[in-house]
Amino acid sequence: MARAPKRARKTPDDDGADRLSDLPDGILCHILTFLDTKYAVATCVLSTRWKDLFLSLPNIVLDDSLTRKRRNKKVLLEFAKFGLKQIMLRDVPHINKFGLRCNFNFKDPAIQTLVCAAIWRNVKEVDICVGKRVVTGILPPEVFTSRTLVVLKLRGRVKLDVPEFVSLPKLKVMLLGDFILASDDSMRRLFRGCKLLEDLSMSKCNFWLVDVLDLSTPLLRKLSFSYPCSIVETKLVIDTPNLEFFEYRGHTAKFNLVKKLKSLARAEIYFVTAPKLKNSFVEDHRENVSEFINKLCGVKSLYLSIDSLEAMYPGCFSLYVFETLTALELVGAFNLQILPSILESAPQLEVLIIPISWLIYHDARGEAPYSLPETVPVCLAKHLRNIKFKYFRALESVFQLVKYFLQNGKVMERMIFSGLGPWDSDLSLSARKKISMFPRCSETCEIVFEQY
């Protein structure tokens, strides 16, 4: 059949020349890497030059919600076919990243094949997000035996079924989100199969079916638990001697930190207290939480929800000695009177951030000035350089405290007050004036005021 005549060529005038033609293919491809695969591939019809550009893209990101068509079996198959073709056709030594956002029935064989195909093409990073509407879903076992996988991110409110045999020799980063963890055994199999794991995050996972979570990964450097569900009865065994960063946000669990974390550089501990805690519950966990904090005592930088800790175990902070702590950030409303005892626990403290809270004027003794210790805490005399007071309140007891710090902070370099409100308000003006007038022990101390 005779070829249809070519479309009449447009005469390119100076202004009409192909503006992108001076750029090398590499740049055009780089532009495409910022696009979801659907849009990147759609560009292939722009001109003959663009036709095969997408073949050299190493990442594939598929999102099945990006279609305007109604979801039915036919559309699902079209999506799967498209995805599979992409994985097969890419002219790269291996797929770098495979991302899949699936709101369809994840269990469908077509989708399962898609995931397997990525694994077969030696993918390095997998990021699967199973949408909320999906009720069931299983991951193909291939995901757990990939020889090349370095980063594995799985999110989805489905039960994480881990196969009998797990071997992920190159895996360094794992993120699990929203999953319902299947059983003790399941988790044990998972962690046993990734010996090189360095970074583990579990976000909003459900521990209902797990009695003991055993995290004994020798090379783990970063660990993060964020808002685990139903974890209060779970025993968390953490044997990770090389941990450098530890984050825990959520209800308290039955912690068992096997050894003191000596390499810990930073810890972020944010306990969420249930409003109606039974006394027995609190008592049960007391020893446990106490031991837990104790094992963190070698940390250098700490972010801590002091309010929940004090609520559960008043005065517990003063039982610890944080020998190497240099930066401390406290959050939550707590009675500032315990501040000196907190300072006693951290003799090397250099940086301190504290919120000023309403608890001050709810003190039983009213607003009467309280006595601050005559023996100045070691850190205040020797190391404390930077203090930031957040959510400033112009209360007498607060001014007293500030005065105390200024009077005794021998090496104080900077004190920051934030939350003063609009710059020209009476409150702000008088507070600033008052604070500026306090005598300072450290000649080099600088005071900074911030509105918010």
Partner 1 sequence: MPSYTEVTEKKMVVLRSSDQVIFEIDESVAFHSQLIKNAIEDDCAEPAIHVPNVTSKILAKVIEYCKRHAAATTDKVPDGTLATTDKVADGTPATTDKVADGTLATTDKVVDGTPATTNKVANGTPATTNKVANGIPTTTNKVADGTPTTTNKVADGTPYTTEKVSVGTTYTTEKVAVGTTDKVADEDLKAFDAEFVKVDESILVELMKAANNLNIKCLVELICQTLAEAIKDMTVNEVRQAFKIENDFTQQEEEEVQKENAWAYE
Binding to partner 1 (CB under 8 A) within 400-439 occurs at 413-414, 416, 418, 423, 432-433, 435-439
Is 404 in contact with 372 (CB distance < 8 Å)?
yes
Q: Name the nearest CA neighbour of 389 among 421, 416, 350, 422.
A: 416
Residues 367-396 close enough to bind partner 1 by CB under 8 A: 385-388, 390
d(CA 111, CA 117): 10
C-beta closer to partner 1: residue 66 or 272: 66
Q: How far is CA 145 from CA 121, 240, 357, in A?
A: 13, 24, 52
Q: Which amino acid is at 213?
A: L
Q: Name the nearest CA neighbour of 119 among 89, 149, 93.
A: 149
Considering only residues 2, 7, 278, 375, which one is a binding residue for partner 1 as defined by CB under 8 A? 7
Residues 296-325 close enough to bind partner 1 by CB under 8 A: 300-301, 303
Taking CB under 8 A as the rule, does residue 276 contact partner 1? no
Is 38 in contact with 61 (CB distance < 8 Å)?
no
d(CA 176, CA 381): 45
Taking CB under 8 A as the rule, does residue 196 contact partner 1? no
Q: What is the DSSP letter of 20?
A: T
Taking CB under 8 A as the rule, does residue 448 contact partner 1? yes
C-beta closer to partner 1: residue 76 or 282: 76
Taking CB under 8 A as the rule, does residue 18 contact partner 1? yes
The span of 35-43, 105-113, 159-167, 168-176 binding partner 1 (CB under 8 A) equals 35-43
Phi, psi values for residue 159, rounded to 5° = -80, 130
Considering only residues 9, 70, 278, 365, which one is a binding residue for partner 1 as defined by CB under 8 A? 9
Q: Name the nearest CA neighbour of 10 among 1, 18, 21, 2.
A: 18
d(CA 51, CA 25): 11
Binding mask 247-266 for partner 1 (x = CB under 8 A): ------------------xx
Taking CB under 8 A as the rule, does residue 450 contact partner 1? yes
Taking CB under 8 A as the rule, does residue 43 contact partner 1? yes
Q: How far is the CB of 48 from partner 1 (least distance, A)?
A: 5
Taking CB under 8 A as the rule, does residue 350 contact partner 1? yes
Q: Name the nearest CA neighbour of 361 among 402, 317, 397, 311.
A: 397
Taking CB under 8 A as the rule, does residue 222 contact partner 1? no
Considering only residues 90, 155, 326, 397, which one is a binding residue for partner 1 as defined by CB under 8 A? 326
- The dihedral built from the CA positions of residue 424, 428, 431 and 435, taken in this order, carries a sign that is negative
73-89 vs 109-120: helix crossing angle, rounded to 10: 10
Count the residues of the shown chain that bind partner 1, applying the rule CB under 8 A.
Answer: 82
Q: How far is the CB of 3 from partner 1 (least distance, A)?
A: 7
C-beta closer to partner 1: residue 83 or 193: 83
Binding mask 55-84 for partner 1 (x = CB under 8 A): ------------xxx-----x--xx-xx--
Taking CB under 8 A as the rule, does residue 10 contact partner 1? yes
C-beta closer to partner 1: residue 15 or 374: 15
Q: How far is the CB of 159 from partner 1 (least distance, A)?
A: 30
Q: In a 10 Å sphere around its CB, with 0-12 CB exposed, 13-18 middle and 19+ buried, how is residue 26 labelled?
A: exposed
Considering only residues 12, 109, 369, 422, which one is a binding residue for partner 1 as defined by CB under 8 A? 12
Taking CB under 8 A as the rule, does residue 333 contact partner 1? no
Neighbours of 385 (CB within 10 A): 19
Taking CB under 8 A as the rule, does residue 113 contact partner 1? no
d(CA 337, CA 378): 17
d(CA 166, CA 189): 6
Considering only residues 55, 327, 338, 378, which one is a binding residue for partner 1 as defined by CB under 8 A? 327
